[in-house]
Structure 1
């Protein structure tokens, strides 16, 4: 039992009002001086209270903003985490999900809750590269994969059973497999590294995934040593045989295990993914396995799909999310029938997860990042930032093609509810290199670019170049209409690590699969720190991280073929609409939809332009001010932390100075008070002795 100590317990003594032998009573003049000192003390104390309250209020203002906008479920962030770049970053996205603190990576299971929400978790390191770092599972919910609400940490780190959280799976108990748990329980299997050894743990939740408790107080499976890959369990329950299956990433294979109780698992086989099984080219270390089924929407043929993370370094690519089409054998081991293909052709669609929407459709989310550079030192205008990571646009995946040559067709879940008024226009060119569009817009933007040949009876030809230019970053797409292939290059000044720059600036080549079309439409969705695009009708997507703090992006489009361009540009608002800058005289856009809130300016389209001027706008000076300040002009969406940026420094500094001054005054007041009291009683001055406290360490006294 913990009780408060008495004066005697602490060694403190009540004030001794008995005068020492031989002490004289103070003279009236001395007492009057002491009274004045006590009056001064009261005034000083009043000023102290005012200054301290003011200082605390100013210093805590950013903290209050962060806490209020967090949407609940997350502990209030401290001033230290804000100041150290853990909760504030100029890389925060406008309409994608951002982690509220630290570093975000792999997406965990996505499931539909009884509350009507889709739920998922992701790996978060809230103290990334700080004392006490380590990963947890952070819980988020959404109804539409556009608007997200933070729930908070559901599975913590360092709980006495496991250490940091790695990837795993959440399954429900509706089949009653776990007899000692209610049917509405959720069960999580996951990896944790214990002294470098990859081990599997089990936890359960009876509150809808808000919190989890250990199902066993130790690991249920373990790698034999600290250099064996044995992680990221994917769980699949077979109701017919009442068997729980586990699929583990084990280097160049996926091990398969079976259990009748969910605790003791037996090895039954593996899916080999080494060079021998993949036509001579391996895919590096396999991670994050996942299994789903899809039916061909035309023939009804059902196929099993194995998803996994891998490295396409031997295929001219980088890390990404892959899939194989095949089936499960009698032991539930996956057997591939086709070679692996990428879910997304870009460099930053990793740690993905999936939910089965129907027999013919899957929805997927992924971490937009790459271990080649995302964990390197990345700086915004305030220095190195430790708040990094956002989640991709959701994708709808369906099976297309023919038996024996199936592919996944991918389409974006676009945030159309957040689209601002459209800006449209068109331009055309003669043969030879010709600029068709050059316009500066907010960095959070959708561009729909449709190309046709100037000769309406001829296909789109030559090369089409789309350049996305910012003050500190660029991304260039060069599309060959004759072969339906393209290359992507990018650069940034926000990353200086040599290895990181090498990985970030790699040229990636991909194919859209539709050569020499009569019409070609590219849909490009930009946000503050990402670019995602697709060629309409291809079923292929490309996702890339964009390390930039510039709030504006210049879209430059050119061609060396006989091509005409029709474009539609939409600002995508995270919350309130952006103000509209006045277009340059060289640009003649057409406004469609409701009036106002267009954010477009430019310096010319191509020749033969046929456009009209929008009806509203704001000054370039205001846009320049917003850009220089490096801050958003819209309010923070619900469930997001405010982007306080460098504005947090002055309130903290002023508040700290006021509180320091108050403390100094307090010390002086105490000394004055002590002197006055001692003078009043005729007590000689003496250095006070440090009194011990039985419940405090020396550093806390």
Structure 2
């Protein structure tokens, strides 16, 4: 993407700013769907899209992740937005509580903050803090306090609730909102709240359309405005960035990270945004900077995406010491995830899952830091390894064509093959590859590597330019029953691994039934995407348009909740044409 920057605009007024430009997202509520009914129907609690080892809701629709924390019971806890009555009577999101020891095995705790309780309606995103500082004198230090947005007559208002039982249940701390937007056209939502021990104040960061409003409070109820970093068209245009803004800002989150090499500690501001002006989709972004004397974030670098994929949104981040963060995200996108979607049995109302956990660290140098993103793979679930070697003579030669279980770990390692002349060998009609280049030989990989994941109702394709690290991802599915949603889903997305002129390139592709997570080894970047297929197998095709040697390894990924495991994959049901060398081993 084209890099962006932003400036901090001081604001003395306490009025909330009307958000610019991008349409307000849906929050899976109040659909008015004519299929509404008072009882759950088929597709509400099960579907052919059910994930095996990713967390997903047991019923209905799920999206944004709320605060993640480590409890005194040794578990990690988090909450997320759940709509158990999606597109039915009682439609609307509430906060649902989950715990895990390893981000692979999850246990449902239950609804923590219910909707429609007489104080608030259905809820949007917010955050939870502990009262260990004693800031709330009328609550025990073990209490948890939640701030969140609820829509009252279309107006975004902030509420506060507390829990005395480690987040299992929350009660209203006040019977009215502690903050409110002036009218329905004003964006003011998704409060991230933190305690500042030095000033003994609560600080709230609020998504306000094209800025992140910053507020302070001495009692947790009354907040006053102290400033806001801006991401509007004007601020960016003043810096010579004419392509515009990042759309509607959502889900702010503020953490710190220390680079162990430089010893410098930086503030990291995370937020949801839309890269539609830059050839991207919605996603989770971050900026590196510091806080001024009023806790307002001051950016020092331009925004970047945490994950380059189309479906890493509504993310939350947990502090794990001073050098490590852990992140979870909703694998979904408002361009298509809430559109009519069907499996072989009809409409599906159980939709959405979490990503795998990501570890984030800081690396670089002063003025040029970036997050290093590492996907935490469920390696304890890997079973039935199959490995082999193949090669390509070039000219779009297929090196691999196999059928595997849809729940699959795939590792593909590419090195230069014999007989290459370094000219790329690509099809002259391939405009995308010509633009991004093939490479000039010199012992490094060249040409375009293509990986296709084929199902009877969907396809995902990665086309990767070995010399430059640029790649393109495309998808198709027959499962979305909305033309606009299908167009959004099928958009081509360009990204880059940053791995340039390498003599060895390793792809990791981790598939579950409804998700694909991809990264290039040593890149520090990732690409996460949702998919909609009812097929329980994936045909994996790998080709290259230059002489290339491929070493591959597959593992089925078992369901952590299954009582027993049996292999689902056949090792090589499709012939691989004219392989110059090939071997396989089972272990």
Report the TM-score, using the length of structure 2 for normalisation. Answer: 0.87
CA distance, structure 2, for counterparts of residue 443 and residue 397 of structure 1: 28
Structure-2 separation of matches of 1:349 and 1:256: 25
Match of 1:578 in 2: 566
Alpha-carbon distance, 1:428 to partner: 1.1
Partner of 1:607: 579
3-state DSSP class of the match of 1:500? helix
Q: Residue 425 and residue 158 in structure 1: after superposition, are their counterparts in 2 closer, same or farther (change >3 A)?
A: same
Distance 1:473 1:582 in 2: 20
Q: Partner of 2:189 in structure 1?
A: 231
Of 454-463 and 333-342, deviating more is 454-463
Q: Which of the numbers 506, 514, 524 marks the counterpart of 1:521?
A: 506
Contact 2:405 2:569 in 1 (8 A): no
Match of 2:136 among 151, 163, 178: 178
Contact preservation (8 Å) 2:259, 2:363: yes
Q: Give the match for residue 633 of structure 1.
A: none
- Please list the CA deviations of residues 113-149 of structure 1 after superposition, one character each: whole Å capped at 9, or x if unmatched: 0000000000001100001111110000001111111
Q: Please list the CA deviations of residues 416-451 of structure 1 after superposition, one character each: whole Å capped at 9, or x if unmatched.
A: 110002110011122322111000000000100000
Following superposition, the deviation at residue 582 of structure 1 comes to: 5.0
| 2:462 corresponds to | 477
Determine which of 64, 69, 82 is the counterpart of 1:111.
Answer: 69
Structure-2 separation of matches of 1:249 and 1:516: 41
Cα distance change of structure 1 residues 570 and 606 upon mapping to structure 2, 3 Å threshold: farther
Contact 2:259–2:323 (CA<8 Å) still a contact in 1? yes
* Matching residue within 153, 156, 179 for 1:198: 156
Deviation at 1:613, TM superposition (A): 5.5
Q: Are the equivalent residues in 1 in contact too, given 2:289–2:300 (CA < 8 A)?
A: yes
- The counterpart of 1:507, out of the listed 492, 499, 521, is 492
How far apart in 2 are the matches of 1:330 and 1:80? 53
The corresponding residue for 2:11 is: none
Query: 1:496: Cα distance to partner?
Result: 2.4
Tell me if 1:317 matches 2:280: yes
1:256 to 192, 209, 214: 214
Point out where structure 1 has 5 or more consecutive residues left out of the alignment.
1-78, 588-600, 616-701
Match of 2:326 in 1: 363
Which residue does 2:377 correspond to in 1?
414
Task: Tell me by how many angstroms 1:561 deviates.
Answer: 1.3
- Deviations along 1:324-381, one digit per CA (max 9) or x if unpaired, are 1000000000011111000000100000000011111100000000000000000011
**In proportion to residue count, which structure has more helix?**
1
Q: Is the CA contact (8 Å cut-off) linking 1:248 and 1:256 kept in structure 2?
A: yes
2:32 alignment partner in structure 1: none
CA deviation string 1:536-595 (max 9, x = no partner)? 111110011111010000000000012110001011101332335554xxx4xxxxxxxx
Determine the structure 2 residue equivalent to 1:536.
521
The CA distance in 1 between the partners of 2:337 and 2:111, in whole Å, is 22
2: CA distance between counterparts of 1:406 and 1:542? 20
Q: Deviations over 1:57-111 (max 9, x none)?
A: xxxxxxxxxxxxxxxxxxxxxx975534211111111111110000000000000
Match of 1:244 in 2: 202
Q: Counterpart in 1 of 2:19? A: none
Tell me the secondary structure at the aligned position of residue 248 of structure 2.
coil
CA contact (8 A) 1:437 1:606 kept: no
Which of 89, 112, 131 is the aligned partner of 1:131?
Answer: 89
- Shift of residue 604 of structure 1? 2.6
Superposition deviation, residue 406 in structure 1: 1.0
Q: d(CA) in 2 for partners of 1:348 and 1:557?
A: 24
User: Helix, strand or coil: the match of 1:436?
Assistant: strand
1:390 to 353, 358, 362: 353
Question: Who is 1:58 aligned against?
Answer: none
SS in 1 for 2:575: strand
- Check 1:290–1:179 CA distance in 2 against 1; reply closer, same or farther (3 A cut): same
Post-superposition Cα deviations, 1:594-646, rounded to whole Å, max 9, x if no partner, equal xxxxxxx443376133424648xxxxxxxxxxxxxxxxxxxxxxxxxxxxxxx
How do residues 484-499 of structure 1 correspond to structure 2 at under 5 angstroms? 484-499=469-484
1:256-308 Cα shifts (integer Å, max 9, x gaps): 00000000000000010112333232000100000000011201101101000
How many positions carry a matched residue from both structures?
Answer: 521
> Is the CA contact 1:327–1:334 (under 8 Å) kept in the aligned structure 2?
yes
Deviations 1:381-438 (A, max 9, x none): 1111100010000000011222111111101111011000211001112232211100
Change (3 A) 1:107 1:407: same
**Is 1:401 paired with 2:364?**
yes
State whether residues 119 and 139 of structure 1, in contact with CA within 8 Å, keep that contact through their aligned partners in structure 2. Answer: yes
Separation in 1 of the partners of 2:193 and 2:568? 50
Runs of 4+ in 1 over 6 A off after TM superposition: none
**What is the alpha-carbon distance in structure 1 between the residues aligned to residue 341 and residue 577 of structure 2?**
35
Residue 292 of structure 1 corresponds to: 255
Give the aligned partner of residue 59 of structure 1. Answer: none
For 2:417 and 2:531, the matched residues in 1 are separated by 33
User: Counterpart of 2:380 in 1: which secondary structure?
Assistant: helix
SS of the residue corresponding to residue 576 of structure 2 reads strand
Partner of 1:328: 291
Quote the Cα distance in structure 2 between the aligned partners of 1:471 and 1:612. Answer: 26
| Mapped contact 1:136–1:164 kept (Cα < 8 A) | yes
The answer for unaligned runs of 5 or more in structure 2 is 1-36, 421-441
Q: 2: CA distance between counterparts of 1:106 and 1:269?
A: 26
d(CA) in 2 for partners of 1:412, 1:479: 20
Name 1:209's counterpart in structure 2.
Answer: 167
Residue 431 of structure 2 is matched in structure 1 by none
Q: Take 2:575 and 2:381, find their aligned partners in 1: how far apart are those partners?
A: 26
Task: Write the mapping of 1:21-100 to structure 2, written as runs, cut at 5 A.
Answer: 81=39, 83-100=41-58
1:595 aligned residue: none
**Within 5 A, what are the aligned runs for 1:595-634?**
601-604=573-576, 607-612=579-584, 614=586
Q: Secondary structure of the equivalent of 1:87? A: coil
- Counterpart of 2:451 (choices 446, 458, 466) is 466
Kept after mapping to 2: 8 A contact 1:81/1:87 = no
Q: Which has the larger radius of gyration?
A: 1
Q: Is the 8 A contact 1:82 1:88 kept in 2?
A: no
Aligned in 2, Cα 1:414/1:605: closer, same or farther, shift over 3 Å?
farther
